[in-house]
Amino acid sequence: MAITNTLSAGATTPGPATRPTVAARRTLQRALQRVEHTFDFAFGAHANPWRHLGAVSFFLFWIAAATGIYVYAAFDTSVAGAYASVERITHDAWPLSGLARSLHRYASDAFVVVVLLHLAREWINGHIAGFRWFSWLSGVPLLWLLYASGIGGYWLVWDRLAQFSLIATTEWLDWLPFFGEPLARNFITGGSVSDRLFSLLIFLHIGIPLTLLLGMWVHIQRISRPRTHPPRAIALGLLAALIVLGLATPALSDAPADLVAVPVVLDLDWIYLAIHPLLYSSSAATLWALAGGATLLLALLPWLPPLARPPVARVDLANCNGCGRCFDDCPYAAVTMRPRTDGKPLPRQAVVDPDLCAACGICAGACPSSTPFRGVVDLVTGIDMPQQPVHAMRQALERAIVALRGETKIVAFGCDCAANVDALRAPDTAALSLICTGMLPPSFVEYALRRGADGVLITGCRDGDCAYRLGNRWTEERMQAEREPHLRATVPAERVRITWRGPFDGKALRTEIDLFRAALRGLPAWTRNGLRSPKRKEAAHG
């Protein structure tokens, strides 16, 4: 028997107009998951770079920043000396500066690719609407800053490619009515580019990345424990790949800039500079329309179409002791601890910010009052989800266990965002789907075993890919007694199994529960001893 609940945060029932979009997104999700499964086999689930794209972006930024600072130490900031100094850097007049330049170039290119993949993956997985709108919207201007940083870096080399890029950019900017005189006039003749103007270009190439870093910091402000450092295996592997690429194909300059001649053939960096050929194949107005329209569309995506948010977590002060576990475990910093308002002799209470709450229920799984062993008929907890309260979970679990028949009885707890646990339901198997697996209090596992189950299977989103970021991690740590509330040591570990399966892993999940059932049958007979459930007084209803 499954618990009936509302849809996950940021979701709603699709209407006729949105069904094609939903179908297309599910097709893309399936394709993405196939790609991620392939990387799982190659790198392992924990070190799968697809699940750490945000952290990899931060890592690439720091590589580009560190190598940029190192190269800048040997760079001549004058117009006359810029190109010559870059050539000396390229040929290692400054120790390892040639490799540093190549790393700077390729890390910057990789930064763009990874950011775009991160953006696409978040959209495909639907991680843009509802409580996630701030993270998405704050990331949109970062794309402009990212491209501005990279394009400006090419100007400082002051070769023919820099000449082409700088003139194309100023011609594009000249379409805007903000400038009194055309900017492109500054590059008509060789003598028109002064050291003062070149100092401005250097200032922009330093200032824009710093602004980008500030924007990246703002981007993660509504996320608790953001992943800004990729796993060591990914970091070392990526750095090694960039070094090999830099040694095999060093970054080189074109011929020196010559403003009296128009370059005809250039080796473009299509990751950063593709915008320039687009300008000359259309017009400045068309390019502004495309860039502005794309930016506006990205900014509006979280509200296209508008979605009804599910109820957020609610605090019951009569049962909140101010322990702070919900505050510690909330993935989106939606819970804060504040002074009591009910007059109880306790220092603090939990308060939920509805604008930040993901409605994931992880806080309910962390609350010490969310235990089915409490001797009350109506189980009210310190913090709970109105659409799937802990009391309803206990009732559904009790009814499901009573209905179990067979030699080996299993209770399967699943996640609405992962493989469909309801498909496991059978005479000997009860299935209970939660908003997020992190909503499961460990005491429910013990309770199921005491009430007659032979084993408990826990499943949810794939490893490292929790829809609410920390549900899988907190569940594992609670079950391993590494986090409160934890599963008691008296619960036999061999009768509890955790397996992480995505929404399209139904077949693998069925195989896993069959293996678990076979393992349970192979265990010696056991008595529950301390696991015998205490009697609970049932109040009369009438």
53-81 tens-digit pLDDT: 999 999 999 999 999 999 999 999 998 89
Q: What are phi and psi of 441, to 5 degrees?
A: -70, 135
Same domain, 81 and 210: yes
More confident residue, 23 or 387: 387
For residues 503 and 421, what is the distance between their CA atoms, to the nearest angstrom? 10
**pLDDT at residue 190, as a whole number:** 63
User: Is residue 1 pLDDT above 80, yes or no?
Assistant: no
Same domain, 134 and 213: yes
465-484 tens-digit pLDDT: 899 999 999 999 999 999 99
**pLDDT at residue 55, as a whole number:** 96
Residues pairing with 349 in the sheet: 338
More confident residue, 251 or 307: 251
**pLDDT at residue 525, as a whole number:** 74
DSSP string, 499-519: EE--TT-HHHHHHHHHHHHHH
DSSP string, 250-271: -----SBP-TTS--------HH
Instruction: Please state the rounded mean pLDDT for residues 410-428.
Output: 95
3-state SS, one letter per residue, for 275-305: HHHHHHHCCHHHHHHHHHHHHHHHHHHHHCC
User: Is residue 110 pLDDT above 90, yes or no?
Assistant: yes
Same domain, 120 and 258: yes
**In this structure, is residue 20 part of a structural domain?**
no
Same domain, 258 and 360: no
The candidate with the shortest Cα–Cα distance to 133, out of 355, 362, 385, is 355
**In this structure, is residue 138 part of a structural domain?**
yes
**In this structure, is residue 139 part of a structural domain?**
yes
Same domain, 359 and 444: yes
For residues 401 and 384, what is the distance between their CA atoms, to the nearest angstrom? 23
Same domain, 172 and 114: yes
For residues 389 and 281, what is the distance between their CA atoms, to the nearest angstrom? 59
Cis peptide leading into 485, omega within 30 of 0? yes
Beta pairing class for 383-384 and 314-315: antiparallel
**pLDDT at residue 531, as a whole number:** 59
Same domain, 98 and 205: yes
**pLDDT at residue 307, as a whole number:** 77
More confident residue, 127 or 13: 127
Same domain, 251 and 371: no
**In this structure, is residue 33 part of a structural domain?**
no
pTM of the full structure:
0.87
**pLDDT at residue 10, as a whole number:** 39
CATH number, domain of 85, equals 1.20.810.10
**pLDDT at residue 520, as a whole number:** 94
**In this structure, is residue 429 part of a structural domain?**
yes
Domain hosting residue 382, numbered range: 314-524
Mean pLDDT, all residues of the chain? 89
Same domain, 343 and 491: yes
For residues 473 and 463, what is the distance between their CA atoms, to the nearest angstrom? 9
**pLDDT at residue 523, as a whole number:** 87
**pLDDT at residue 345, as a whole number:** 87
**pLDDT at residue 541, as a whole number:** 30
Largest CA distance in the chain: 96
Same domain, 363 and 243: no
**pLDDT at residue 536, as a whole number:** 42
The b/e string for 65-103 (b: 16+ C-beta within 10 A; e otherwise) is bebbebbbebbeeebeebbebbebbbeeebeebbbbbbb
**pLDDT at residue 540, as a whole number:** 31
7-48 tens-digit pLDDT: 333 344 444 445 556 678 788 988 998 899 899 888 888 899
Same domain, 340 and 433: yes
**In this structure, is residue 537 part of a structural domain?**
no
Domain total in the chain: 2
465 CA to centre of own chain? 8
Structural element, H or E, at residue 478: helix 471-479
**In this structure, is residue 272 part of a structural domain?**
no
Q: Are 202 and 75 in contact (CB under 8 A)?
A: no
What six digits make up the tokens of 4?
Answer: 């009936």
**pLDDT at residue 528, as a whole number:** 63
* Lowest-pLDDT choice from 184-188, 331-335, 428-432, 434-438: 184-188
Same domain, 250 and 324: no
**In this structure, is residue 531 part of a structural domain?**
no
Instruction: Please state the rounded mean pLDDT for residues 271-285.
Output: 94
Q: Could you count the other beta carbons within 10 Å of the beta carbon of residue 285?
A: 10
**pLDDT at residue 17, as a whole number:** 44
